[in-house]
Structure formats: structure tokens, C-alpha cells
Amino acid sequence: MDFSDTYARLKGYLIPRWKQLATAVGFFLLSSAVEPLVPALFKKLIDSGFQEGLKYPLWIVPIVVIGLFLARGLFNFAGTFVMNHATSAIVLDLRRDLMKALLRADAKLFTTISPGIAVAKVINDPQHASGALGSSVISIIRDASTLIFLVGYLLYLNFQLTLLAFVTMPLLGFSVKLIRKRLNRVGEAQYLAQQKLVSTVDDNARAWRVVRTFDAVDFELARFEHDAVHHRRMIMKQVATSALVTPVTQVLAAVGVSIILTLAIWQASQGSSTVGEFVSFITALLMTISPMRHLTDIYTPISGAMITLRGAFELINAPPEPDNGTRELATSRGDIAFENVRLQYEGASAPALDGLNLQIRGGETIALVGSSGAGKSTVVSALLRFAHPDSGRITLDGTDIEDLRLASLRRHFAVVSQDIVLFDGSVAQNVAYASPAGVDRDKVERCLRAANLWNHIQTLPDGMDAPIGTNGSKFSGGQRQRLAIARALYRDAAIWIFDEATSALDSESEAVVQRSIEDLRGSKTLILIAHRLSTIRNADRIYVMAEGQVAEQGNHAELMAQGGIYAGMVRIQSAH
């Protein structure tokens, strides 16, 4: 995607906000239009005040000056606020599209993008790009003058009047301090809101398999929408507070200018300064506060913003997960068949599955064992359509899974793995994760009891409403695993997959998980993947995999009698 393509995509986000952008430009133009009124006022003063004598009361002069600067400040405030309102809305639109692309992208994307990069693309990149572009646009259409070197000239010309300009500094400092205190408060609120948004996106980047398996894309989009809108509100509070600094400082500066101006007129009327000195001083003084168009040094931020946006649009353009199936499967018996399935990952030197044939009857408990790389995890990925066979087919209750809608397929599976993924929220929210009917507290309690976790939950101050921390950080490993089992129980799927579910647990926690598995036997189709063979001895059938194929199959006693690969693995583990 080149610069022109990026600009074309960006226009699609700018056009819906053109009224707000045009309004902001209008406010900035009005602010600029006030500038020539100031020298025009001084010209009038020179013509009438020095040559013809004052024709109006002296006190009118400071009022007019303050009024001009007040108008300029109000126009700047309005322009800044409206511009940031429009850009924050554009950021929100970009984040929505990026989040949708991330949640619906093909599984291949997650082999090339890390969770941290995903977070940066969804959260940081739109904000950075809009901030850079917004400030550049404001610099083009609004003043960017702070001509400090003129202060030296003013000191040289009339140091008494220049020093007099600082009489408003204490009041200015006090006002800025008050604004800064509020800015710190709203800034902290904005930071916390952003952290919550980052946590939501990080959850989905880490847990994309869980989200897809639970068919929770819409649920996660709703959760994201809530956090993103709240973050935008905090940003607007921060912008409104920050934008107050400019008009307040300008009005207070105008007070100082009006004092100087009045004294300068008095000095001129007393003959202590010439008309030329008066005009020179006032002109230089106005140059320090009047806006100037600053058209240099804007290419770099614009270029950086466009590069950032290009990366964001590339993520939005990422191909979505294929979902070409049209058939629905309302209920499932849990019958699964792999028929001569061959699957080779892109860039791999050998197939992960090579002519695999596998039969699993509904309500049966089977185990997949074998060395690392034998193809066990690929069986699960293919079954959930995270990976797609090059040949052969996989059926669920006799229907090719490629003919099923993804949501219809995945609703029949519950996965409990060694990589426990939990979400930032309460116990109840995690157990009832993505449930279309919301949280049924009675059902949550039943599932927690079944997962042997209810006694612990009762000890928490907030019970099932207690927060679990990031990825369940407030729970032990065994408790987190039992919470994952409770979540799967709440889903009540026909097919359960335990992928090394007890490999990282202590003996006591492993025994609890094993009891949960035994309670499910016969009522659910169970697929157990394990390296610790003692955990799968009671399986109805054990498939020993090697090089993407079934090398041996049978129950524990049959395989031990054969004295083959499985028997050798058992002897090795028993020796240790």
C-alpha cells in the first residue's frame, strides 16, 4: 500500500466528519481575522490620539484590546475542541475497524503478529496518527508564533514597559496551576481508561482461540465498544481542560498589554516618547502575541502519520477467516471422523497430518498421545477449523465441517488447555463468558460446584462477583484451571477437548481435574491430549500418533499387551 492508497483510505474516514472539520477551520479563520483588527486599532490611535487629540475616553482602549484578544482566544478554543472532537471520532472509527479485523482475521495472521503489536496497532497507532495529522493541520491554519527573540528587542527599546508586562505573571501562574491540577486528574482518568481498553484488546489478541471457539466475536466487540467509547469521553475531558490554557493566558496577557498600551499612550502624550518609538514598540509587542502561519517542519509528522496509518490499513485489509459453510447443526451427538486427512502448514518441510484416519463415537473418551510434533495439537486445530486440510475431510455427525457455518461448528466444542486464558472481570463473568443470555447466577454456582471451586469462591469478599485479575492472576494455577472447567461446563458443549489440561498442575489440583473429567464420561465426547500417560489410562481408546498418522490404537491394557510405542512410553515414565 503506497502513499496515495493510504490517503484514499484516510479520506473514507474524513468525509463523514467533514462538517466538524470545516467548522474547526472556520473557527481558526475567524481567529486569524481578528489579528488585523489590532494594528488597525493602533493606526486609529496614532492618527487620532497623537495628531488630533483623543476623541473618546481613555478607558475605552483597554476594553477594546481585551475584547479582541478574548474573541481570538474563544475562537482558538472552539477550533481546537471541534478539531479534536472530529479526530477523536475518526480514531474511534479506526479502532472499531481494526478490532473487527483482528477478531475476524484468518488464523495465519496470529503467526505473524504478536499481541503487543496488535495492541499498538489498535490503540496507539490511530491516536498517534490522528494527533500528528491534527496538529499539523492546526499549524497550517492557525498561528504557530512564539517569537521569543522579540523580547530582547523590546527590552532594548523600552525595558520599563517590557518589565511592566510581567505584572500579570503571578496571576497567570496561579491560573495555569489550577488548570494543571484538573488536567492531571482528567489525564489520570484518561490513562486508566486507556489501560482498560488495552487490557480488552490484549485479552482478545491472547485468547483468539477461546473467542472463536466460544463464538464470542460479537460479545467481544460489544465489550470493546463500551471501553472505547468511555476512553473517548475521557480524552474529550482532557482536551477541553487543556484547551482552556490558551484563552486564559492570552486574556491575562491582554491585560498586561492594555496596561502597557495605556502607559505608552500617556508617555507619548507627555512627550517622553516619539511616535516612531511608540509604533515600533507596539508593533514588536503585538508580534509576540499575534498568530503567525508556521508552514515549516510539518512534512515529518505528516509523513510519520501516513506510515502509521498504512500499517493500520494493512491490518484492516487482512483476509478474514474463511466461513463459506452454509449448513447449521443445532445439536450434536459428538461423532467425529478424520478421513484420510493431510495437512501441511505453510513453510513446513513435512505434513503435520499425513493421511490421518480417526473415528470418535459420541460419548466416547479417547486420548491422543505421542511425542512433540506428532500432530496431536493439529488434530484440534483442524477440528475447530483454525487449520484446513489440503486433502481428505473431517466430519461431525456425518457432515463435512467445511459445510458448516463456523458458529454452528464451534458451539459444540469446549476447550480446556494448559495455556489457561481468562479475562479481566469477575468470576461470574468468566464462567458465563459470551453467553447470549447473560449471567445466570444459579447456573454459575452449579458449574463452580461441579468444578470443585465453589468453596474457595465463598471465601472471597465479593463471592462470584470478585475480580480475578489479569488472566486470573489472583488465583492459583489449579484454581484457574478449575475456573476454565467451570466456564466450559456453563457452555454445555457436546464435545470437550482437554489439551494438556493437567500438565502444569500439582498432584492435588490434577486429582480435582481428573474427577471433573470422570464426571463427564459417557455424557460428553471427550478428547484428551496428554504427555503424562497416567492421566489417560481410563480412556475408552488411546490413539498413539507419530509423524501425523495413527501408529497404534486400543485401550491401555491392549496397548500394553502389544509392547509397542505406547508400552515403551509408559515404561519410560514409570522409571522416572
Q: 532: which 3 cell numbers?
A: 503424562
Higher pLDDT, 153 or 357: 357
pLDDT above 80 for 26: yes
pLDDT per residue over 246-304, tens digit each?
A: 677 667 767 766 777 777 677 666 666 656 566 666 766 766 655 554 555 565 566 66
- Residue 238: what pLDDT? 74
pTM over cut 0.85: no
Query: Is residue 346 a contact partner of residue 397, using CB atoms and an 8 Å limit?
Result: no
Averaged over 526-538, what is the pLDDT? 89
Q: Which of 63-77, 224-238, 316-330 is modeled with the greatest confidence?
A: 316-330
Averaged pLDDT for residues 207-234: 87
The full set of domains in the chain, from first to last, is 3-316 (1.20.1560), 413-492 (3.40.50.300)
Mind listing the pLDDT tens digit for each residue in 371-409? 888 999 999 999 999 999 999 999 999 999 999 999 999
pLDDT band at 457 (very low <50, low <70, confident <90, very high): very high
Q: Indicate the DSSP class of residue 321.
A: P
Contact 411, 211 (CB under 8 A): no
Kindly tell me the sign of the dihedral angle through the C-alpha atoms of 89, 90, 93, 98: negative
| pLDDT averaged over every residue in the chain | 82
Look-up of cell digits 463464538: 215
Please tell me which residue, 307 or 191, carries the higher pLDDT value.
307
DSSP state of 320: B
| 123 vs 3: which has the higher pLDDT | 123
pLDDT score of 311 more than 90: no
| 133 φψ region: left (φ > 0), alpha (ψ -120 to 50), beta (else) | alpha
Helix axes 149-157, 275-289, angle to 10 degrees: 160
C-alpha 250/C-alpha 289 separation (Å) is 8
Q: In what order do the strands lie in the sheet with 353-360?
A: 353-360, 336-343, 391-396, 399-400
Distance CA 84, CA 259 (A): 35
How far apart CA 454 and CA 228 sit, in angstroms, is 34
Note the pLDDT of residue 420.
85
